[in-house]
Chains A and B, each alone.
Chain A
Amino acid sequence: MYIAVVFLPLLGSIIAGLFGRVIGDRASQVVTCTGLGLSALCAALIFQTVAIDGHSVTVPLLTWIKSGGLDVSWALRFDTLTAVMLIVVTFVSFMVHVYSIGYMSHDHSIPRFMSYLSLFTFAMLMLVTADNLVQMFFGWEGVGVASYLLIGFWYHKPSACAAAIKAFVVNRVGDFGFALGIFGTFFLFGTVGFDDIFAAAPSKAQTIVHFFGCDVNAITIVSLLLFVGAMGKSAQLGLHTWLPDAMEGPTPVSALIHAATMVTAGVFMVSRMSPLFEQSETALAVVTIIGAATAFFAATVGCVQNDIKRVIAYSTCSQLGYMFFAIGVSAYPAAIFHLFTHAFFKALLFLGAGSVIHAMSDEQDIRKMGGIGKHIKVTCALMWIGSLALAGIPPFAGHYSKDAILSAAWASGSTSGHIAFFLGMGAAFMTAFYSWRLLILVFHGKPRADDHVMGHVHESPLVMIIPLLVLAVGAVLSGAVGHDMFVGEENHEFWRAAIAILPDHTALASVEHVPDWVEHGPLVLAVSGIALAYLLYVVFPAVPSFLATNLRGLYLFALNKWYFDELYDFLFVRPAFKIGRGFWQGGDGALIDGVGPDGVAAAAKDIGRRVALLQSGYLYHYAFAMLIGIVAIVSWYAFMAH
């Protein structure tokens, strides 16, 4: 069971990937979906055993690297944290697999797509079940590769290729930080195994290393480096630019990778490393600030985007920010709880968006939609559920997890926690606003699409709707059901050793004691956000464009995503290209090729020509050469003799 949960998707991927052409589209779909279905079943059983009954398990597989002090083995680690992730990953992935059968039915390379999906799932499972940092890095890179393949699935689209490369490169930056973090960990602890690291962490809390001329706390450095890795995968401010572009991939990919699983890998990793992060106040503060800033930033951008998937993508970015600042205030359970609920409602939103796009003949611009709610009632209802959950309206799932995070941020009592709280409140308001902006523009009001498109609007097939329904159940119930388990009074019973929180980090414990306005504030803001969206887009539809014209600077700033892409383009991409071109044309072309191969070849050719020219064909030249040779040699000896 423990091995099956991880390796069934790999098996499915291999079968569909290598033999997809032989066994055909349908069989590929069946194989991968079955693999995932069984895997999800195993995950449920494991959740029962490990999380509910409390039997943590580590399944050793084999020794991987044994070199000097470095001892890395393959082992599957199952504790509560892993069990939660298993549920999220396998269930969402299963739903996405099933959904893909319908969504990708017109595609030409279905086996390839299904194989990539399963491969991704395998890598993600490898990541969450890792027993040491190196194995986690394997899964980490595996999801990176699979995500590259999936974003660039439609490789004939230049924009998809560019997005895939961008995602990969930006992730490399994070991965580099992660790799350095692993090196640092090994340097500090002499091991990469989690158990040993966690056991040794408290004793190393005060270790100081000399770094670039300053003395710094070793754990802080290692934690921050690991966090850089997390930022890359989880699209936190600064390394977030790839996520919106990644929407070039097929919509199921967006739902699987960019809502429920890969982007949450960073959150998972930091939670997994909680014993380490707990030892460094600095690192936690940095995580809090970055997370809160991301939550706020992404929400502002989400308010003005016009591509349905990009709105949801920025929303994801923003929600990931929430999770990180929850971590920053040591409310890891709240972060994982939000991860858990978010996975359901965000996957629902993405898949719902896919259904909309499907209905609108591949139109993604919400300005060209409108009024299709009455044609696709089920999708519309499901999107409403997803949005209600996202906005945090009770009793939907988001309400529980988001409130827990915001309360914890306030309850932490620290400055960074309070900054995070206020930014989070602002983001909550905007979240509700952009969610309803999207709903209203897409489903309500007058149709803005042409008649041809409107005539084609149709509900998606059952194979797409059923996964949506399942996810919708999760979006409705997961908050209420999970609340007590994840963040309730008795959450220690649930998490046990999976998450470590220092006793004086009491944010989560004192959630129940926050003032009323903190407790109810998010709901009020969410409702007012919805109301504002209603006012602006239903009652006074002229206002948005009026605002956009009169606050042009602000509008463009948000629309252009705070100019991050342009800034990076200017700071990194162009200089990199310039340096690359310099090395290529100047260094390699002119210098190495010019002086080296080309230069030598040209010189050789020239010398060859001259040598051949000596061969005049005249007899007396030849005789002359011989005599000159004799004379030269004799003179040499005559000269030497004296």
Chain B
Amino acid sequence: MITADLATVLPELLLALAGLGLLMFGVFHKGDATRVVSVLAILAFAAALLVMAKGDTQSITAFNGLFQVDRFTVFSKGLILLAAAFTTAMSVDFLEKEKIGRFEYPVLIVFSTLGMLTMVSAGDFLTLYMGLELQSLPLYVLAAYNRDNQRATEAGLKYFVLGALASGLLLYGISLVYGFAGTTQFSSLTLVLGATEGAAPSMGVIVGMVFILAGLAFKISAVPFHMWTPDVYEGAPTSVTAFFAVTPKIAAFTLLIRVLEGPFGQLGHQWQQVIVVIALLSMFVGSFGALGQNNIKRLLAYSSIGHVGFALVGLAAGTEMGIQGVLVYLAIYLFMNIGAFAIVMLMRRKGVAVEGVDDLAGLSKTHPALAYVMAGVMFSMAGIPPLAGFWGKFYVFMAAVQAGLWTLSIVGLLTSVVSAFYYLRVIKVMFMDEPKGEFDRHIGKPAKLVLVLSTAVIILFSIFPGPLLSSAKVAAQVLFPG
């Protein structure tokens, strides 16, 4: 029994051991071990990915239902591991240039990723909470990683306090659910809530669900639980921001889908209303908030809030097609963002990082290749066909329309028009303004790789949408048995 359970959690086990081992290695390694540890961490991610891909992809539960693996978790974990690997790879050069390269950085990322994998696979609210905390704590540290920088420490502190609040909300919600439903296990909850079908669901369970939802909404920075995002994105070192923008978001979003479609699946009618509202608010804030921003990291923070709003549209639809759309959206979002952040990390003049949108002025003349990649990313984020970002939006809105959520779709389209403004402004600055001076020439191999990959996905998705679409479909089907 225990062997089977351990086999199920093999990827997590591998990451846990890797984290511990790397920590020891770093401590005993003479001199700066950041680069070595980073490479090893990436290998660990790759190994975990490999193990997961090799493993059984049927739905399995382990540890008496505390842990579950199925195609949905595999899809989600695949994205998480990819994102973690890419952001780690991108970080090395950046950290060295910022002179904050220490071996704990990749180790923290490994532990955080471990937490994410755990929470995505949670079959019980207790596992969920444990995983969530395990991913959060390293993030707090990472946010303040540049500990001599006032803004970074401020960002870390804010994130920590608000994160603690969100954790508290989540925990309170879990306790309420336990109090009213008598269980914390997902499968049992489904049965309990399903049994009261017809009758109005207990108010206590609903309040508990709302609190849980709020806790998770904080992690994906959906409005009104988004307030930390712009400050933390701006304050944290850019490599950390890149990690924040992608990895935990995907983890928390898939977890949200799992919780809402799994244990609370029977309350679909109830949570749909909340999701619609926060989707609307997120799209609105994400579009309008960024209009006046000149800091590119802050701009991307609002952009990510907007993207979460769009993805929530698919969740609000609550159909298999909607979930498929969300998963596709998240995958595309991953590649667009690592592309954008890879370029932001290269914005460096005479060794000093710059973050203003106007610092990009004339990039098309000084670094044409970068400018074109960035333009591609921005067009894609704005949802200009035939780039991948368009299809991401297309699938979620399609699902929303089929589910009859007209208001949501129309508002979504309108706000995406508004958001197009600031994406296009970046392009305008790069291509039409006079150059402000060159960026430093050196572009590391990982950055190159990420840029090429990101561009390839953005462009090629239109031509070869098959693999992503079908795997997302398979993953979404898990949540809609029968």
Contact = CB atoms under 8 A, between A and B. Distances in A.
Q: Do A and B form a real pair?
A: yes
A539 interface: no
B211 interface: yes
A404 B157 CA distance: 107
A384 B477 CA distance: 100
Contacts of A609: 291-292
Contacts of A615: 227, 230-231, 289
B228 interface: yes
A630 B169 contact: yes
Interface stretch (A8-16, A169-177, A202-210, A600-608): A600-608
B224 A608 contact: no
B291 A637 contact: no
A630 B203 contact: no
B288 interface: yes
Nearest to A605: B291
B207 A634 contact: yes
A625 interface: yes
Interface string B171-202: 00000000000000000000000000000100
A629 B224 contact: yes
Most A Cβ at <10 Å: residue of B210, B227, B288, B292: B227
B344 interface: no
Interface in A584-635: 601, 604-605, 607-609, 611-612, 614-615, 617, 619, 621-623, 625-626, 628-630, 633-634
B71 to A, nearest CB: 32
Interface in A434-480: none
A634 B273 CA distance: 12
A641 interface: yes
State which size class the interface on B falls in: 35 or more
B57 to A, nearest CB: 36
B166 interface: yes
A542 interface: no
Contacts of B169: 626, 630
B270 interface: yes
B158 interface: yes
A628 B291 CA distance: 25
B421 A604 contact: yes
Interface in A329-361: none
B83 interface: no
A62 interface: no
B268 to A, nearest CB: 14
Contacts of A214: none
Given A617-B231, A628-B224, A612 B203 contact: no
Interface residues of A, number: 26
B291 A623 contact: no
Contacts of B418: 604
B475 interface: no
A637 B270 contact: yes
B293 interface: yes
Contacts of B227: 614-615, 621-622, 625-626
B289 A629 contact: no
A631 to B, nearest CB: 10
A641 B225 contact: no
Given A608-B290, A612-B292, A633-B210, A623 B203 contact: no
A343 to B, nearest CB: 57
Nearest to A641: B203
A211 interface: no
B288 A637 contact: no
A630 B200 contact: no
A633 B292 CA distance: 29
Nearest to A615: B230
A637 B213 CA distance: 14
A637 B203 contact: yes
B285 interface: yes
B288 A611 contact: yes
A611 B285 contact: yes
A638 interface: yes
B206 interface: yes
A288 to B, nearest CB: 63
B210 A630 contact: yes
B214 interface: yes
Nearest to B422: A608
Interface string B211-237: 101100010000111011011000000
A412 to B, nearest CB: 71
B231 A630 contact: no
B273 A623 contact: no
A529 B211 CA distance: 108
Contact of B225 (A605, A611, A629, A636): A629
Nearest to B291: A608
Nearest to B173: A630
B218 A626 contact: yes
B289 A612 contact: yes
A637 B207 contact: yes
Contacts of B6: none
Contacts of A633: 210, 213-214, 274, 277
Contacts of A638: 203
B161 interface: yes
Nearest to B230: A615
Interface in B141-166: 157-158, 161-162, 165-166
A614 B292 CA distance: 13
Contacts of B223: 629
B289 A626 contact: no
A538 to B, nearest CB: 72
Given A607-B288, A608-B292, A626 B210 contact: no
A634 B288 contact: no
A628 B214 CA distance: 11
A617 B298 CA distance: 13
Contacts of A611: 284-285, 288-289
Nearest to B421: A604
B210 to A, nearest CB: 5
A231 B291 CA distance: 59
Given A625-B224, A637-B206, A630 B162 contact: no
Interface string B256-273: 000000000000001001
B206 A622 contact: no
B292 A630 contact: no
Given A626-B214, A628-B224, A630-B169, A619 B270 contact: no
A489 to B, nearest CB: 77
Interface in B275-300: 277, 284-285, 288-293
A636 B225 CA distance: 17
A15 to B, nearest CB: 41
A619 to B, nearest CB: 6
A597 to B, nearest CB: 11
Contact of A622 (B158, B214, B273, B421): B158
A622 B206 CA distance: 24
A619 B161 contact: yes
A633 B285 CA distance: 18
Contact of B162 (A601, A608, A612, A622): A622
B273 A636 contact: yes
Nearest to B227: A622
Nearest to A621: B227
A608 B207 CA distance: 32
Given A617-B231, A622-B162, A630 B290 contact: no
A636 B207 CA distance: 10
A74 to B, nearest CB: 42
25 contacts: A601-B421, A605-B291, A608-B289, A612-B291, A612-B292, A614-B227, A615-B289, A617-B231, A619-B158, A619-B162, A621-B227, A622-B227, A622-B228, A623-B161, A625-B224, A625-B227, A626-B166, A626-B169, A626-B224, A630-B169, A630-B210, A633-B214, A636-B273, A637-B270, A641-B203
Closest 5 CB pairs of A and B: A608-B291, A622-B227, A629-B224, A611-B289, A608-B288
Given A623-B165, A626-B166, A626-B227, 16 more contacts: A604-B418, A605-B291, A607-B288, A608-B291, A608-B292, A615-B231, A619-B162, A622-B228, A623-B161, A625-B227, A626-B165, A626-B224, A633-B277, A637-B206, A637-B210, A637-B270
